[in-house]
A and B are shown apart, each in its own frame.
Chain A
Amino acid sequence: MKLEERKKAIYVLLAFFMLLIFNAPILYSVNRPDFLGGIPVLFVYLFCAWLSCILLLLFHSLIRTKRKH
């Protein structure tokens, strides 16, 4: 696979991964009125997963930049 194609494939995979973690069935398991340190567990899950995805995107973007240099 060419480098350009691989980059596209990684982006698409990341998107599907994010779609998966923000939807059922994973979301069903945290969609309950429980609390973690006084904060709703659904809220904690959504923001942690979101932040992890952003870090993944940042990491991927940094790798690309380094390769370019």
Chain B
Amino acid sequence: MNKLLIIICSVAYLSLLFLIAYLVEQQRKSKSKFLDKSWIYALSLAVYCTAWTFYGSVGRAVTNGPEFLTIYLGPSVMCALFIPVLRKLIIICKTQRINTIADLISNRYGKNYTLGILVTLFCIVGVLPYIAIQLKAIATSLHIITGVPKGISPASWSNDTLVIAGILSVFIIIFGTRSADASERHEGLVATIAFESIIKLIAFLALGFTTCYVLFNGFAAISSEAQLKGFTRFFTLHDGLENNDWLAMIFVSGLATIFLPRQFQVAVVENTDVRHLHKATWLFPLYLLLINIFVLPVAMGGQLLLGNQVSVDAYVLALPLRTGHPLLGLLVYIGGFSAASGMIIVETIALSTMVSNNLILPLGILKNLAAGGDEKATIRSIIFSRRASIVIILLLACLYDKWIATSSSLVSIGLISMAAVAQFAPAVIGGLYLKWLTRKGAITAITLGFFVWFITIVVPSIITAGYMDHSILDQGFFGISWLRPTGLFGVQRMGVLAHGVFWSMIANIGSLFVISLLTHPSRQEEYQSELFVHIDQYIGVTGGPGMWKLSARMESVSGLLANFIGRERAANLLGAYAQRHKILLDKEEADPRIIDFSEKILTGVIGSASARVLISNIAQEEEISISEVMNIVKESQQVLELNKELKKKSAELSRAKQQLTDVNERLMKSDVLKDEFLYTVTHELRTPLTSIRALSEILYDNPDMEEEQRQFYLEAIVKEIERLSHLITQVLNLERYESGRQKLNYAAVELGGLIAEVIASLQPLAQEKRISLAFTDPNFMTLQQCDRDLIRQVIYNLVSNAIKFVPEDTGCITVTCRMVEDELQVWVEDNGKGIPAELRELVFDKFFQAKNQTIQKPVGSGLGLAICKRIVEMHGGRIFVDGLSPQGAKFVFTFPSN
């Protein structure tokens, strides 16, 4: 493809990364919540998948079959195991403002300089080749896609590597070193890493899909063709399982998910919320699964179509280009560029912070900076040292790429780096859970572990590359057979990696435990071990066990802090802290908590060991025993407990207040209901009373009225009085049911007989209207426990209601008994005009008829259904209007099972 086009695409892609980083930073400043940070966090962990995943996995699949999967199964397994460890690490790093793995180990073992330097040097030795192969991968892919002719000299490749390193260093410097405070989060940068993760996944999936379904007829077709050609190594594991390399690779790749500097940077330092771990637990392994699902088909496809025409690591890019898919080739190139650049960016930031804090600043510069009065110059110097570290690291990587990394495959260098950083695991994980581990133990463990790693893993690969005498592999160092790099102490039948990991871990863990048991920790180590192991107890406690009985002048403390973070920011931070903990800042002597806080701020800028040295320079330390420290902490914890207790009490009071408010609301509602009820009852009572009074006055004013007419009026008065009496009786009954004063006289009642009896008593009324009234189940024989009189009233009310509502002559009422599941149901159906759906609930309200004047008012008090409802509920049953009845109304009441 055209080189200019590729360069334009690369620059455009880099510009897009710049834009994303810039926009996310702006969004952070405006505190907008457009992006879900938990997704960004989980996707940024996929920086684990570098060029060796993108190009190297296919290469390894071609040579070793499915063994490449271990590098991704390991992190998936460890994802579950490391959640508790990561959670603890994140809390420690946040509270202590730790920002590199070197700083973490140094901080745990008494803020020790030696450990910080050691870890930094080992990180450089272990990880620099890894950065170099990423640069090499970008340069190689650029050459493949632009079609550089065969035979091009490695020197010109390195020139391209240098240009790529230069462009990337500009990006890293702009977005990775904005502030002197290294503990500040790089949210824009992390967002670009997450974006790159998506791009590389899309690119690889597109390639896999094309290989499977465009170049071949599916996965099965590739497999069968590979089988026909005799490429059986794709289908099974051979040596990996036998020589324990499989297990060793799972182990080291799992540890790499935390201990590689870039993984530590994104997983711990850049984490903004511990809860984001929950999503990462499944999303990160899912990402790894997806990016690997097409590796085997692509490897088989590459082997079948390209064979030995290109290097196996170049199959990924060569496959689309050689099969006439240039656009896919471009996408794959961008994906590979994403994979490599993401790794280089994060790894370089992490390493540069380590180099700057542990190697450059302590070289005499630090004390000069602390003494200097020009704070801006100091901050500039720190940022400059970090930027210089970035340039130095990338230059060293270019040099490694030019002179050394010519023979190793992508994956083998990656595995060597992973095995290197695994040497930090015992000191870190042990340091989180075992208080008795000491600084001397940690120094010996890491040094010995690295030494054995170098002998057993690096030396064999150097020998294989032809840089050392091959006889060492057969005869051992100094001709001693049990010092053979691949068979130490006569241990055979293990792969190089398994052998190296086995011996380096034995040396590492063994020396850590033995030396720790033989040595005593210093006071500072005791403080730090207490803090690390019991970090949960110190969350929210001011000071912590590392807080000394220090005496220092306030002016010196604030001056020191201002030198490194600026006068304004120092004043703001100290002011806010003092206000939060009610500390007076205008005293001449600084409060120990202020000194401790200042040290933490400095830790974020220059690392814990350097911060401790600077604080020691301005403060007089009084010896304080661990028991005194524990007392201080206990007091703080008591205050915290008291606060918690007060909060609890306050919450209880709030709950009680809410309950009172609820009760009050209910009472007010009851009051309104009572008023409404009284109004309705008096209205209902007044109607017959008015009639009685009018009729009586007519009789009184007309003494000479004819006998027949007088009789008519008197009958009307008697009817009205009966109606009045009936209403009062019903009101009294209802009041008795609702107040609970009505006791149920339970007895075994033969329900069929009771219904028949009620129907017989109402037959004259039905005959009067010439309507049909029937009980459909006269032989229904069920004994039901209930109050016979009250249930009789329910049936009577329902049937008499139905009689009122059905039309004369054609009216038809049926009563039915049914057992439905565990319920005994009684149905009263009629063919009247029915009840609209919206009124089916309301008909059981008191005085419903009276309140609904739009409905033609029949004879009755409007309390009958309300009474029925109450009686049925007293029996534990239900009453409702069945909405499924096709015409008329269907009332149903139920009894629970006996």
B66 in the interface, Cβ–Cβ < 8 Å? yes
Q: Chain B residues with Cβ under 8 A from A37's Cβ?
A: 220
Q: In the complex, what's the smallest C-beta–C-beta distance from A2 to chain B, in angstroms?
A: 11
Q: List residues of chain B with CB within 8 A of the CB of A27.
A: 237, 241, 246
- What separation, in Å, do the CA atoms of A38 and B232 have in the docked complex? 14
| Whole-angstrom CA separation of A18 from B227 in the bound complex | 30
- Fill in one digit per residue for A14-54: 1 if any B CB lies within 8 Å of its CB, else 0: 11001100111001100111010111101100110011011
> Is B247 at the interface (CB under 8 A from chain A)?
yes
Which of B66, B80, B247 gathers the greatest number of chain A CB atoms within 10 Å? B80
**Given that A40-B234, A43-B296 are contacting pairs, would A22 and B84 also be in contact in the complex, using a CB cutoff of 8 Å?**
no
- B236 within 8 A of partner (CB): yes
Determine how close the nearest CB of chain A comes to the CB of B848; give it in whole angstroms. Answer: 43
Q: What 0/1 readout, one digit per residue, does chain B (220-245) give for beta carbons within 8 Å of chain A? A: 11011001000010111100010000
Complex: A23 Cα to B66 Cα, angstroms: 13
> Is there an interface contact between A42 and B66, defined as CB atoms closer than 8 Å?
yes
Min C-beta distance of B278 to chain A, whole Å: 4
**B76 to A18, Cβ gap below 8 A?**
yes
Q: Is B282 an interface residue (CB 8 A)?
A: yes
Provided the pairs A23-B246, A27-B241, A43-B296 are in contact, do residues A57 and B79 lie with their beta carbons within 8 angstroms? yes
- Please measure, in the bound complex, the distance between the C-alpha atom of A58 and the C-alpha atom of B241, giving whole angstroms: 29
- Please give me the residue from chain A that is nearest to B233 by CB atom: A33
Which residue of A has the minimal Cβ distance to B84?
A8
Indicate the size class of the contact surface on chain B: 35 or more
B223 touches A23 (CB 8 A): no
CB distance B77 to A22 under 8 Å? yes
Residues A38 and B219 in contact in the complex (CB < 8 Å), given A8-B84, A33-B236: yes
* Distance of A57 Cα from B554 Cα, bound (Å): 51
**B52-107 residues at the A interface, CB under 8 angstroms:** 66, 69, 73, 76-81, 83-84
Which residue on chain B has the smallest CB distance to residue A64?
A: B278
CA distance A61 to B279 in the complex (A): 7
Q: Which of B231-290 contact A (CB under 8 A)?
A: 232, 234-237, 241, 246-247, 250, 275, 278-279, 281-282, 285-286, 289
B278 and A61 contact, CB distance less than 8 A:
yes
> A22: which B residues are within 8 A, CB to CB?
73, 77, 250
Q: Are B77 and A54 within 8 A (Cβ)?
A: no
Chain B residues whose C-beta falls within 8 Å of the C-beta of A46 in the assembled complex: 66, 69, 73
> Are B234's CB and A11's CB within 8 A?
no
B748 interface residue per 8 A CB criterion:
no
Contacting pair B285 A54 (CB below 8 A): yes
Number of interface residues of A (CB under 8 A): 36
Q: Mark B510-526, 1 if CB is under 8 A from A, else 0.
A: 00000000000000000
Bound together, the chains give a CA A23 to CA B250 distance in angstroms of 10
Contact yes or no, A15 B78, CB < 8 A: yes
A38 neighbours in B (Cβ, 8 Å): 218-221, 223-224
Residues of chain A within 8 A (CB-CB) of B246 are: 23, 27
Candidates A12, A64, A65; contact of B80 at CB < 8 Å: A12
Are B223 and A39 within 8 A (Cβ)?
yes
**Smallest CB gap from B232: residue in A:** A33
Closest residue of chain B to A38 (Cβ to Cβ) is: B220
Q: Is the interface of B mostly helix, strand, loop or mixed?
A: helix
C-alpha gap A36/B653 in the complex (Å): 66
- Say whether B237 contacts A57, CB under 8 Å: no
Chain A residue numbers with a CB within 8 Å of B221 are: 38
**Residue numbers in A under 8 Å from B480 (CB-CB):** none
Q: Chain B residues near A32 (CB, 8 Å)?
A: 236
Asked whether, in the complex, the Cβ of B250 is within 8 Å of the Cβ of A54, the reply is no
Q: A50 contacts which of B73, B81, B232, B234 (Cβ < 8 Å)?
A: B73
Q: Is the CB of B278 within 8 A of A50?
A: no
Q: How far is the CA of A51 from the CA of B241 in the complex (A)?
A: 22
Is the C-beta of B293 less than 8 angstroms from some C-beta in chain A? yes
Contact among A12, A15, A40, A57 with B282 in the assembled complex (CB-CB below 8 Å): A57
Dominant secondary structure of chain A at its interface with chain B: helix
Looking at the assembled complex, report how far the CB atom of B226 sits from the nearest CB atom of chain A, in whole angstroms.
9
Measured CB to CB, the nearest residue on chain B to A36 is B220
Contact partners of A43 in chain B: CB under 8 A: 66, 235, 296
A24 touches B282 (CB 8 A): no
Q: Are A35 and B77 in contact (CB under 8 A)?
A: no
**Residues of B contacting A64 in the complex (Cβ-Cβ under 8 angstroms):** 278
In angstroms, Cα B472 to Cα A19, docked, is 35
Q: In the complex the two chains form, what is the Cα distance from A35 to B224 in whole Å?
A: 9
In contact, A57 and B285 (Cβ under 8 angstroms): yes
A60 to B235, CA, bound (A): 33
Residue with the greatest number of chain B CB neighbours at <10 A, chosen from A31, A38, A43, A51: A43
Rounded to whole angstroms, the CA-CA distance of A33 and B69 in the bound complex is 17
- B80 A39 Cβ-Cβ under 8 A: no
Question: Chain A residue with minimal CB distance to B221?
Answer: A38
| Least Cβ–Cβ distance between A26 and chain B, in angstroms | 11
Shortest Cβ distance from A24 into B: residue: B241
**Other-chain contact of B289, A40, A51, A60, A68 (Cβ < 8 Å):** A51
- Known contacts A23-B250, A24-B241, A57-B79: does B219 contact A39 (CB below 8 Å)? yes
A31, B69: Cα distance in complex, Å: 14
- Which residues 203-221 in B have Cβ within 8 Å of A in the complex? 218-221
Docked Cα-Cα span, A32 to B238, in Å, equals 10
Q: Could you say which of A18, A24, A47, A61 contacts B77, with CB atoms under 8 Å apart?
A: A18
The answer to whether A50 touches B76, judged by C-beta atoms less than 8 angstroms apart, is yes
- CB–CB B81/A15 < 8 A: yes
Contact partners of A11 in chain B: CB under 8 A: 80-81, 83-84
Contact of A15 among B69, B77, B247, B296 (CB under 8 A): B77
Residues of B within 8 A of A61 (CB): 278-279, 281-282
A31 to B234, CA, bound (A): 11
A23 touches B247 (CB 8 A): yes
A51-B293 Cα distance, complex, nearest whole Å: 11
Query: Are B220 and A12 neighbours in the complex by a CB distance under 8 Å?
Result: no
The smallest C-beta distance from B458 to any residue of chain A, in angstroms, reads 27
Residues of A within 8 A of B235 (CB): 33, 35, 40, 42-43
In the assembly, what is the distance between CA of A24 and CA of B76, in Å? 17
CA distance A53 to B235 in the complex (A): 22
Min CB gap B79→A, angstroms: 7
Q: Mark B278-316, 1 if CB is under 8 A from A, else 0.
A: 110110011001000100100000000000000000000
CA distance A8 to B69 in the complex (A): 27
Measured between alpha carbons, how far is A51 from B235 in the docked complex, in Å? 19
Cβ contact within 8 Å between A19 and B77: yes
Can you list 11 A-B pairs, Cβ within 8 angstroms, ordered by A? A11-B83, A27-B241, A31-B237, A31-B241, A33-B236, A35-B235, A40-B234, A40-B296, A46-B66, A46-B69, A47-B289
Known: A23-B247, A35-B235, A53-B76. 13 other contacts (CB 8 A): A11-B80, A12-B81, A15-B78, A15-B81, A18-B76, A35-B224, A38-B218, A40-B236, A43-B66, A46-B73, A53-B285, A57-B285, A65-B278
The 7 tightest CB contacts between A and B, nearest first, are: A38-B220, A15-B81, A58-B282, A15-B80, A40-B235, A57-B282, A14-B80
- Listed in ascending order, the chain A residues whose CB lies under 8 Å from chain B are 8, 11-12, 14-15, 18-19, 22-24, 27-28, 31-33, 35, 37-40, 42-43, 46-47, 50-51, 53-55, 57-58, 60-61, 64-65, 68
Residues of B in contact with A (beta carbons under 8 Å apart)? 66, 69, 73, 76-81, 83-84, 218-221, 223-224, 227, 232, 234-237, 241, 246-247, 250, 275, 278-279, 281-282, 285-286, 289, 293, 296
